[in-house]
Structure 1
C-alpha cells in the first residue's frame, strides 16, 4: 500500500506539506476505524499515538461532516486534555477543516459547560470524572446518541484503579446510548495487551479489539549519575548530586527533573536555585500548586521559556513538549514502566534516542536504578493487576444514571455487567448497592438525608427529590484528596494547597517553602493560610499521600544482583566493597530467601528483615511484628522501614525471629490492628465520599476537611456498632487491605517466611543494615535542622559496619 493512499486528500496534502508520511501503525489504526473495529494501540512515546487515535475521526469528519458530538477523547489529566487540544487544533486549522475541538474538565467555566451540552463540538476532550457528570444529565440521552468513537489516552493510567472502574461503567452506558460506538485506547507502557483488550471490549470480548503494535523507537540513552566521591549510605532524595544535576541542565536545551514526592520537588527546586549561578529560568510543577501556577509553568515550557522544570507524577503522562532533551530522575524510579514513561517526556521523536539520568539516593537505590535500567533495555515492564470493580464507584455510577432518567433494575444490571470490572457482579451485591443508595442501609434508614432513591409503582427506580440530583453533581468524583487548606496572599492570589494535617500545625510567624518560595504565615483562617513572602529560614511541607513502593519485578532484579557475584563488577567500587564485606560479615540472601539479622547497637537490640517487598508492606509488617513482640514480652521501642528492609528495635534480644512471622498474624494481629487504627477510618472516609454517603460541598459553600472527617467518623462508629457488614465498611476494608497496606506482598512474605528464613546473629551492625538503621536517627530530627549531625552519624555507623575484625 502506498503511504497515505487511504487518507482523504485533505489529510494526504497536510502530511505532504509537512514532508511527512503516515507511519504503519497510524494507517493500521485508520483501517481498523474504517472497519468499525475497537482498537488498542501500543506504541512508544514520539510515535504519533494521539494522531493515530484521531486519524479515523479526522478522515470521517472531513469526508462526512456532522453537526454534533462525533468523538470523545478521555485523558487521565486535565493538563493532557489541554495539551492535546493545542496539538490537535494546529493540524485542523492548517487543513482548514470545519471541525470544532473543545475541552471539558473541572476547570471549564459553567457557562461553557451548559453550552457544550446544548451544542457540543465534534470532538470533546475530557476526563473520566467529567464524562460521568455529563452522563448524569437528562440530555445525555440525546447528546451521546450519535457518538461514533471514544479515544482513551494513556489507558494504563486508568484501567486497574477506581478511575478505570468509573470509566468502564461510563463506556458501558455510552455503548447503550450509541450501540455502534467504537472504542480506542492508546498507551506506550502496556505489559499485558490482552488484559487491556479485555478491559476495553464490551462484555470483555477480547476478539472484538484489534491490537496494533507501533514501530520500535530508538533505544533510550540512560545513565546513572554517580557522586564525585561515593554513593551515599542513606537518604532517598539524591540532593547530594545537585551541582551535577545543575551541570546537566546547563548543557541541555530543556530538562525535566522528576521527583517522587511533592515535598522533594520543592526541596530540589530550592537546592537547584542555590547553585544556579547562570540564573537559568527553572520552574516547579506538582499537584498541590494552584491551577494558575501549573498553567503558567506548562505554558512557559510549551513556549520554550524554561531551561528546567522540577516536577512530580503530575507530568508523568503525555504532555508533549518536543524541546525537552533530557529527563533526570531524582531518587530511585520504583518501577520500569514509570521510568519508561518519564524517559518518554524527553525528545518526542521516534528515531532519536531519549536521554535520561538516574540519581540514586543510596546504595540500595543504586542497585534499584541499575535494575530499572536493565529492565528498560530488555523491554520488561511492570505487570498490571486487574481486579473486581469497587462498590463505592458502582454506587456513584448508579446514582448518576438515576439523575439522568428513571431506570429498570434488570436492564441497568445487564448494562453494568458489560464493563469488565463488574462482569461477575452478583445479583445480591447489586441489590445491596441499590439498597444502600435507597436508604443508606439498615443502620441509617431512619434518616431522610440518606433516602436518595425510590422505586415507583411502574417498577422503575428514580431520585427521591431534585435536591439529591444537585448534591450528586456537586460532589461526584473519584479522586479524594486529604483535607486541604488554601495557601494565598492577602491580595487573594492563590499559591495552591497544603494538607490540613500540616497547615493546622502552623501559627503566625511560621515559615515554610511552597510554590518555589519561602512564605511566612500571617494568619490562619478556617480553610485558608494567609501568607507573605519571607527571607526567614523555612521548613518543607510534608504530605501524607501514598508513597511509591518498589515494584515486585524491580525487587526481584535487585535480589538477583545481590546473589549473582558476576554482576558486582558492574557496580562502583564502594558499592562492590559494601557487598563484599556484607558477605564476609553476615550473608547475602539468595532469591526467595528471607535474611534476618539480629545484633546489639547503642544499648538496644535490633532485628533487620531483608524482605524487599516495598515500603507499604514493610510499614504494615512493622506494625504487626511490634504488636506480637509486645505480646511476647520483647519490649519493642519502634521500627523503621524502606523498600528493601524493615528494622525493629527494642529492649530484649530476639532469639527466635521465626516466631514473629507465622502466617496467622494476618488473621489475628492484622485484623485487630486495621480495625483499631485510623487506617480503616481513612479508607471509610474515602469510600463514603465516593459512594455519596457524605457530601464534600453544599450549594454555595464547601465543608472543611475536619467537618467531612467528623461526619464520616460518626457514621463509621454507628455502622461498626449496628451494621458491621454494611456495604461501605466492606468496601473500606477492601481498600485498606489492597491499597494501603500492600497486603498481597505481605501475605506472600508471611506464607514463605518459615521455609525461607536465614537467621544470622551478629555482634554488631552489618553493612546492609546501615541504610535502614540510619533512618532511626533521621526520624527524630527536628524540621529545619541541618543534616550535618546525621551525616556524621551515618559515617560512624558505616565505619562500625565495615570493620572486618
Structure 2
C-alpha cells in the first residue's frame, strides 16, 4: 500500500479546471491525488466522506484522457476506456445522470451507458460491437460480458476500472466474482488501472490487498479524503407514547415521523427489510391527511416501478421515500434534507452510509433521525450514534473465496474461449480471495465443472467442459454457453415455504430461513396452533397438530447482523450508569430496576439469569452475538438440556439475548456452555435439519449444477428445490466430499448459523459466566420473552402492543 504521490496542479487539464471554476468549486486535494495516482500508473483506493466527490474523483482521469489539451491533436481513445462497477443498478443509473453533466459542459467526446439485467437485449448486443467510452455495470453483468468470445476485443482497450462502494460487497460472494473478473480483465488489458471508492472502511489496508493484483499491495495508492462536516444524528424519543419492550417496526413513532416529513422538503426513510418498507409506507399513508407524495422503493418491485420512483426523487417530486438497502449506497439526491432509520441500524458503517444520503455535500452536516423499535434498540441506536460521532467504523472480515463462485467463473471463461488450466489457475490465484487455492482443490473444481463429480459423471447433462489431447479445456457443446448465460448470477432469492397438514390443508407460509432450522419432531406455534414438524421437503413444511409446548420460536424474519463492534458498545452503555442520564425515562427506569433486581451484562461478563414463571423455569443468556448465533445457541442448548434430563420446552432469541425454558431448572449453566464438542454437535444438527439442503440449493444454482432457466421457460422455486434435493441425496450417499457439499457446509457455518461467533461465545464463557438466580423475571429479559407465542410474521413485522404474556411478565418485573 503506497502513500499518495505529491500533488501537481499542472496535472489538471484546463478544460477540467475551467469547469470547476465555472461552478464556483475548487478541486479537492483527494481528487488531485487520484489524478496523480493515475498519472503515476498506480491502482488507487479512495476513502472519503459522503459528499466529497468520490465518484467524480474516480472519473477525473477518464475525463482528462479525452480533453483536447491533453490529446494535443492525438487521436481520441478508441473503444471501451473505463468500466464502472457498482453493487446496485440504481447507483449506476444515478452516476450516469451525474456524469453526463460535466461531459456535456466540457464538450468532451465521451459516451456513457449503463448495462444491467434491465438493459434491453438489442442494446446489450450493440454495446459489445460498438461499446461506449464509459460503461456502468454490476459484478454479475461484467461476468456475463466476460463469457462472450468477443470479450477480448471488447476489453483490450480498457484503461480503467472504477469499483464504487467497494465495502458493500468485497467481503461477500459478489466480491469473489468481481475479484475473479478483475483478474481476467488484467490478463486481457495488462496496463489497466484498478480504482475503488468508499466512505466507510474500517480496514483500508485489507481492501487495498483485495484490490491489488497478485498481492502487490505496494501498487495500490491509498488516498484519504478531506474530512467533512460532522453528521447531526438524533434519536427520536416518544412524546405521547413509551418506547415499547419489544418489536422492530417502531409503529409508535409514525405520528411523530409524519410531522418530521411535513417539516422537511424531502425525507428518505430507511428500513432493514422489504416487508418493513411496505409496512411503514402503508402506515404513513394511513396518517397522510395532507396527501403528501410519498413513495416506496425496494428490490422486489419491478424495474419500471423503481425507475419511476428514482426519477421522481431526482426531480424533487416526492416529500418522502421509504426504502431498503436498495438505495443506501451512493445515490446522489442533493435535495434530501433528512434521513430516517426505522429500527436499529445494526452497524456504524451502515448508519453512516445511510446518513450520507442527506444533503450529500461535504461542507454541510447530514441530518439523520434514528427511530428505535424497542428499548434494546434504543441502546443500539445510541451506541451507533456514539460510534458515528467518534468516527469509528465496522465491517465484515475477508474470508476465503467461495468454491461455487469459482466454478461459475471457470465456466464463464470456458464460454469465452478454450483455456489452459495452469494459466487460468495462476490468474485465479492472483486474487486475494483465491490466493490460497492449491492444486488439489483446483482439480476438484475443474472435475466438477467437467463432469458434475464422481457420483454424477455418468449423466451427460452434467458434462459441460472437456479436455483435448493438448490439455486445453473447451466447451463440451456450444449450447453450454447459452445455458450458462441464462443462469449465471450470485443472488439466489430466498423462498417461502408453505406450512400444511398431511391432508393438504394449507396454514400459510414461513420464511425458509426459519424452516431450515427445523427437524422432524420439533414443535412451534403458528396460526394460533401448536404444530409438530413431520417433514421439510419440496418447499413445503408438513406438520400435524400437537398439544406439546412449542419448543422452537416461530417469530423470525430476515435479519441484518448486529456487528461485534456495535454489540460491544451496547454492553458498555449498559454499565455506564453515569451515561443513563441521556436515556428516556422509561429506558433509564428499565435499567435501574434491572440493576436493583439482578445485574447488568457488561463487556467483561456473560450474564445468565434463571427464574420461574407460570410453572416453567426460564434461563436467559445475554450474549449480544446476533440473532443467527443466538438461534444456533438455542438449538445447541435445548439438545444439551435434553441429554441432561432438564426437559427443555423451547427457546426464543433476538440479537442481544437467548431465552430457554424447561420443566426443570438450570442449576449451573457452565456445562451447557462447554465448547468441547461444539463441532460434532454442529455437524449432527446441520445434517439432521434442512439447513444443509438449503445451503446446497444456493451453491448448486451458483455453481451451475442446477439451472433455473431454459429457453422459453423458467423453473419455479419448487422445481429448483426438487432438483437440488434429488442431487443432494445422491451426493450425500455416494460423494459426501463433493466440492459443492463442501461449499454448502461453508455457507451453513457462516451465513446461516454464524458458528464462528457462537464458538467465540462458548470459548470465553467459562471464564465470564455470572449466573444470577431470581424469583421472578427481570426487566432485561422481557424484550426477548415477549416474542414467545407470536406467529411467524414475514420480515419481523408485528404489532407493537405487548401481548398478554408480555404484560404479565412486565408487571412481574416492575413489581417492587
- Aligned residue runs from structure 1 range 52-71, under 5 A: 52-62=57-67, 63-64=70-71, 65-71=76-82
- Aligned residue runs from structure 1 range 443-592, under 5 A: 443-483=455-495, 546-592=558-604
Residue of structure 1 aligned with 2:408, choices 373, 396, 418: 396
Match of 2:547 in 1: none
CA distance in 1, matches of 2:92, 2:184: 22
Distance 1:764 1:431, change over 3 A: same
Whether the aligned pair in 2 keeps the contact of 1:624 and 1:665 (CA below 8 Å) is no
Match of 2:521 in 1: none
Deviation at 1:653, TM superposition (A): 1.9
CA distance in 2, matches of 1:627, 1:90: 62
Find the residue that maps to 2:670 and give its secondary structure: helix
Whether the aligned pair in 2 keeps the contact of 1:4 and 1:21 (CA below 8 Å) is no
Match of 1:335 in 2: 347
Whether the aligned pair in 1 keeps the contact of 2:19 and 2:106 (CA below 8 Å) is yes
Matched, 1:132 2:143: yes
Distance 1:500 1:793, change over 3 A: closer
Residue of structure 2 aligned with 1:81, choices 80, 92, 115: 92
Find the residue that maps to 2:55 and give its secondary structure: helix
Q: How many residues are matched?
A: 756
CA distance in 2, matches of 1:84, 1:499: 38
Find the residue that maps to 1:778 and give its secondary structure: coil
Matched, 1:12 2:12: no
Residue of structure 1 aligned with 2:265, choices 239, 253, 266: 253
Residue of structure 2 aligned with 1:206, choices 211, 217, 221: 217
Residue of structure 1 aligned with 2:605, choices 593, 596, 609: 593
CA distance in 1, matches of 2:557, 2:474: 37
CA distance in 1, matches of 2:45, 2:372: 35
CA distance in 1, matches of 2:555, 2:217: 41
Find the residue that maps to 2:676 and give its secondary structure: helix
CA distance in 2, matches of 1:14, 1:194: 34
Q: Which moved more, 1:381-390 or 1:119-128?
A: 381-390
Deviation at 1:797, TM superposition (A): 2.0
Deviation at 1:782, TM superposition (A): 12
Match of 2:706 in 1: 694
Whether the aligned pair in 2 keeps the contact of 1:224 and 1:358 (CA below 8 Å) is yes
Distance 1:623 1:462, change over 3 A: same
- The normalised TM-score by structure 1 is 0.91
CA distance in 1, matches of 2:732, 2:751: 21
CA distance in 2, matches of 1:336, 1:429: 37
Distance 1:499 1:315, change over 3 A: farther
Match of 1:220 in 2: 231
Residue of structure 2 aligned with 1:29, choices 20, 31, 34: 34
Find the residue that maps to 1:242 and give its secondary structure: helix
Deviation at 1:30, TM superposition (A): 1.0
Deviation at 1:397, TM superposition (A): 0.5
CA distance in 2, matches of 1:717, 1:354: 53
Find the residue that maps to 1:755 and give its secondary structure: helix
Q: Which moved more, 1:639-648 or 1:227-236?
A: 227-236
Distance 1:484 1:73, change over 3 A: farther
Matched, 1:175 2:186: yes
- Aligned residue runs from structure 1 range 700-739, under 5 A: 700-739=712-751
Find the residue that maps to 1:569 and give its secondary structure: helix
Consecutive unaligned residues in structure 1, runs of 5 or more: 486-497, 503-525, 528-541
Distance 1:454 1:780, change over 3 A: closer
Whether the aligned pair in 2 keeps the contact of 1:257 and 1:327 (CA below 8 Å) is yes
Q: Deviations over 1:416-470 (max 9, x none)?
A: 1111111121111001100111101111111001111111011101110011111
Match of 2:203 in 1: 192
Deviation at 1:364, TM superposition (A): 1.0
CA distance in 2, matches of 1:544, 1:785: 9
Whether the aligned pair in 2 keeps the contact of 1:482 and 1:499 (CA below 8 Å) is no
Match of 2:692 in 1: 680
Residue of structure 1 aligned with 2:169, choices 125, 150, 158: 158
CA distance in 2, matches of 1:709, 1:23: 53
Deviation at 1:6, TM superposition (A): 2.7
Deviation at 1:500, TM superposition (A): 9.2
CA distance in 2, matches of 1:148, 1:699: 36
Distance 1:543 1:149, change over 3 A: farther
CA distance in 1, matches of 2:616, 2:344: 31
CA distance in 1, matches of 2:112, 2:774: 67
CA distance in 2, matches of 1:204, 1:55: 26
CA distance in 2, matches of 1:250, 1:794: 35
CA distance in 1, matches of 2:702, 2:7: 51
Matched, 1:45 2:50: yes
CA distance in 2, matches of 1:710, 1:425: 32
Match of 2:244 in 1: 232
Deviation at 1:18, TM superposition (A): 1.4
Matched, 1:434 2:446: yes
Whether the aligned pair in 1 keeps the contact of 2:779 and 2:813 (CA below 8 Å) is yes
- The normalised TM-score by structure 2 is 0.90
Q: Deviations over 1:110-156 (max 9, x none)?
A: 11111111111111111111111111111111111111000000000
Deviation at 1:569, TM superposition (A): 2.1
Q: Deviations over 1:362-396 (max 9, x none)?
A: 11111111100000011111143011110100011
Deviation at 1:711, TM superposition (A): 0.4
Matched, 1:113 2:119: no
Whether the aligned pair in 1 keeps the contact of 2:776 and 2:813 (CA below 8 Å) is yes
Distance 1:780 1:435, change over 3 A: closer
Match of 2:529 in 1: none
Deviation at 1:499, TM superposition (A): 9.5
Residue of structure 2 aligned with 1:418, choices 391, 414, 430: 430
Q: Deviations over 1:515-543 (max 9, x none)?
A: xxxxxxxxxxx99xxxxxxxxxxxxxx99
CA distance in 2, matches of 1:11, 1:684: 52
CA distance in 1, matches of 2:190, 2:450: 30
CA distance in 2, matches of 1:782, 1:466: 43
Whether the aligned pair in 2 keeps the contact of 1:500 and 1:705 (CA below 8 Å) is no
Deviation at 1:583, TM superposition (A): 1.4
CA distance in 1, matches of 2:798, 2:779: 25
Residue of structure 1 aligned with 2:366, choices 341, 354, 365: 354
Deviation at 1:700, TM superposition (A): 1.1
Whether the aligned pair in 1 keeps the contact of 2:249 and 2:797 (CA below 8 Å) is no
Distance 1:314 1:591, change over 3 A: same
CA distance in 1, matches of 2:358, 2:429: 40
